[in-house]
Amino acid sequence: MKGIVVLFSGGLDSTTLLWLAKKEFDRVIAISFDYGQRHKVELKHAKELAKLAGVEHLIVDVPSLKRITTSALLEGGPEVPSEEYSNAPP
């Protein structure tokens, strides 16, 4: 039995890879990481897509990264600036 582990964010690229892996391998395991990201909806979508694909899905908690609060990607981090590019020079 051939198997593969797919690092799975639930985004377009990893979802495409997941479906390609299903065609090539007998067993596919999708792994996502909960690192304290601001957009938890990514994990929700990853779970739903893995279920739709009919593959095992694991969400790995990475508590050490949750303590980092200097990244705008993480809960408790600085706000992401909201800029408009219409005023940007060409």
Integer Cα distance of 85 and 75 in angstroms: 26
What are the structural domain ranges in the chain? 3-66
Q: Which CATH code is given to the segment(s) 3-66? A: 3.40.50.620
The amino acid at residue 73 is: L
Reading the chain (90 residues) residue by residue, the pLDDT tens digits are: 699 999 999 989 999 999 999 999 999 999 999 877 767 788 999 999 999 999 999 999 887 776 666 666 666 666 766 777 666 666
- Copy the structure tokens of residue 71: 């990244």
